[in-house]
A and B are shown apart, each in its own frame.
Chain A
Amino acid sequence: MTAQAPGPGGSVLRAVLADYGGGNLRSVQSALARQGVAVIASSDPAVVREAPLAIIAGVGHAESAMAGLVASGLADALRERAAAARPVLGICVGLQLLFEAHEEGGAGLGLLAGPVRRIVAPRVPHMGWNTLAVLRPSPLLDGLDGQDVYFAHSFAVVPADRSVVAAEVEHGGTICAAVDAGAVAGVQFHPERSAKPGEHLLRNVIAWSRSA
C-alpha cells in the first residue's frame, strides 16, 4: 500500500502519546502538531491501543518508565496493538522500552529481542549532534542518510536480529540509531529537537504509520 501524504484532501493522522506519568511529552507533541498530526497524550489503555499511531517518548530511567507503563495498563495496550500490527514508534527511552533486559535495571516491553546496554565510549552520555548512517532502505529513514540529529543517552539497544537496524551512529563504536521492524519502529535520537532533519523524520513517520 502506498503511503498517503497528509495535507489537502488527505485525512489528518491521529496519534497518541503514551502518558505513563513520566517525563516531558510536550516537545514531541508540539513537533508532531507542527507537521499536521492531531496528537494527544493519554493514559487510557483503550485510546493507546486503538489510535492509528502510538508513540512512546519521554526521558528518564527506563525502569521507572516501564513501571509507569505497567501500572497504567499501557504496557498491555501497546503489546496488543503491536500484535495486531498497528504502528508503534519509540523515541529515545521509548525505543529502549521496545526491547528486553535493560542494563540500568528492569526489562522493557519485549516487542523486539535484544538487551539495552550502557554505551562504552570516552564520553558518556552520548550528547549532541551526530551523523546518521542509514543501512538499508526504510520509509522511516528515507532522505536522512548523512544528516545530523540530536542524541542524549547513556544506553543503547542491541537488537538480536540485526536486520531490524535501519540506521547507526558512531560514538566510541557503532550505536543503533533507528530500528524498523514492520509495525514496530523507533529512533534513539530526538526528532523533536533535531531541527530540519527532525521534521523530515516526523514526516516519514506519518507516511510510515499510514502504510505500516
Chain B
Amino acid sequence: MKKNGSVDRRDFLKSAAVTGAALVGSAAGADAQTVPAPAAAPAGPATAPIAPREADPSLEADIVTTDRPGGDFMVDVLKSLNLEYVAANPGSSFRGIHESIINYGNNTAPEFITCCHEESSVAMAHAYAKVEGKPMAVLVHGTVGLQHASMAMYNAYCDRVPIIVMAGNTLDATTRRPGVEWAHSVQDAAAMVRDYIKWDDLPWSLPHFAESTVRAYKVAMTPPMMPVLLVLDGGLQEDPISDEVKGRLRIPKLTLTSPPQGDAGAVAEAARLLVGAQNPVIIADRLARTQAGMAHLVELAELLQAPVIDQGGRMNFPSQHPLNLSNGGRALLGNADVVLGLELTDFWGTVDSFRDSLIRSSRPLTKPGTKLISITAGDLFMKSNYQDFQRYPEVDIAMAADAEATLPSLIEAVKRAMTSDRKTAFEARGKKLAEQHGNALDRSRSDAAVAWDASPVSTARLTAEIYNVIRNEDWSLVSASGNTSNWDKRLWKFDKYYQWLGGSGGAGVGYGAPAAVGGALANKKHGRLSVAIQGDGDFMYAPGVWWTAAHHKIPLLAVMHNNRAYHQEVMHVQRMGNRHNRGVTRAHIGTTLEDPFINFAQIVKGMGVYSEGPITNPNDLGPALKRALDVVKKGEPALVDVVTQPR
C-alpha cells in the first residue's frame, strides 16, 4: 500500500506542504513529485508560501501506511533485553510502540500490563525489579503521564532500583494534532524528573534508540541502580522504517558492568578492625539483592560471631538466626567498638539519636573512639537537589563500592586476619548473642499476647494470623504499608531474599498497593505465594491497581491494616498541639479516614477481586484468610479487610 516507503512522516508532511503551495500557485493538479519547489521568496508572512491548513488526508493515509513502522524495531530492541513486561496506562504519545508491542511483538516479552495510573505502573516495576533482579519497562504518556509517574520514580531512585521508563512525546510541532497533543508535548521531557533518575536520552533515530536503550539498561543495572528514562518521539515510533535506516539497524551487545568492589587495602583494614574488635556490630540496609548476598552476610556474621541489625531495606539476614539482634540496636551500638554499615541509607541517623520534641537535639549513640566502616555504592553517585542522601556521616573507612559484591573479599580478608585466640573469643561472644536473640524472640511472643483478643484487631494478632496460613507455602511478603510495629519481622521466619522486598525508598505513600501487585507479578512464574499487608491510607492513592491485578490474574493475598487514619500524621499534629499548648483533642481533623468508614472489600469487589471484611472480631480473621488463600491458589488476587489497632 505504501507509495513511497522511504518517506517518513515529517518528510511527507513537508513535501505535502510544498505540494499544496505549488498546487495553489499553479492551480493545476500536477503530481507532487514532479512539481519543482517554489522559487525562493523573501521571508515574512506577506510573502510566505501559502500552504493548505492540512495536507490532503487521502494522500497522508496512503503514505503513512506501512508494514514496518519504527515501533516494530523498538520492540525488537526490548525483546533483545528480555524485558518481560511493560506496564502502562495507554497514551496517544506512545500509540505507535503500543501497537507494535501487542501486534508485531505478539504481546509477549514484553507483555503489556494495563494500569490505571502511571504511579502504579512505576511502583509495580519497582517491586518487580527487587524480586527478579532486573528491570521491567514502563511506558508513560507525554507530559501528564510522566508527571503522574514522577513520585513513583523518585521512590525507585531513593530505593536504588532499576526501571526502564519510556515516555512518549511529539517533537515536531508541525506534525502535532491541534489541542491536546500540544498540551502533552514538551521540549525537554526529562527535565521534570532528571533530578531523580540516573540517565536519560531522547533518541533521534532508530539506531540511536537501540544504542540508548541498551545503554539505559546497563546504566540502570550498575550499582547504585536507579531508574532511567528514554523519550520516544511519536514519529520515530509510527513512521515507516526508511531504506536508508534499514541498512543501519542493529542492536548493540549488552554487557553488564561488574559491580564495583571495595579497594583491597580498605577491605583488609576493615577486616583487621572487625577481627580485633571486642564488640563489633554489623548493620545492613539495602545490601542483599540475591540469596547469595544473604548467604555472604550470614557467613561474615558467623565468622565473627557478630550481631547483625537488619534495617530492612532488603531481606538481608535471616530473622531467626541467633545472631539477628535487629531489635537490640541501641544497646548494641552503645557497647560497640566497631560498626560495619552495609549500604546504609542513613549512616548518621544509625549512629546518632535525634529527638523532635519540644526542642530538637541530637547525640551520638556510639561511645567515643568507635570505628565506623561504611561500604555503599551510594558514595559513587549523588545528586544535589533532592536531599535523600541524609546527613554527612563521619566514618573511619568509607568504601565507595557495592557491599554485596564486596562481601566475598571481606570474608576472605577476615579469614586471613583470624587467629585461634580470636576464634575462642568469638565463640563465647556468639553464645551470649544467641541467648539475647532467644530472649528477644520470647519477649516478642509474650508481647504479642497482650490485647490478643482486642477489637480493633491488634497488629500482632493480624500478623500472626497471616503467618499461620502462609508459613507452609513458598511465600513472599511483597509489601507492607502502614506500620504494624514490625510484628512480621519479630515473629515470622524470614530466610530468603524474596521474602521481604523492602519499602518504598522515598517514603512516597501510595507505593504499597502497586508494589504488592508488581512483586506478585514477578513471583507468579516462580509459583510463590505473594502476600501483602496493605495500609488503608496507601490503598486510597491509586486503587485502580486492584483492577490490574484482577485483569491480569495476578495471585496476591492482600490483608488490610485498616486503622482508619494516617496515623503518622495524627501523631505529628498531636505533637504540634502539645508543643503549642493547645492539646490534641482535634488532631483527628484532616488525619483520619472516618465518617464514612471506607469499605475496602466493596471497592475491590467492584473491580473483580475476591474480598472479605471489614473484619473486627479477631476470631473471624483466620477462617477468612483461609478462604482468601484458596482463591489466591487458583491464580487470582484476594483482599481481606481487617480493622486494626493504630500500630
Q: Specify whether A and B are partners.
A: no
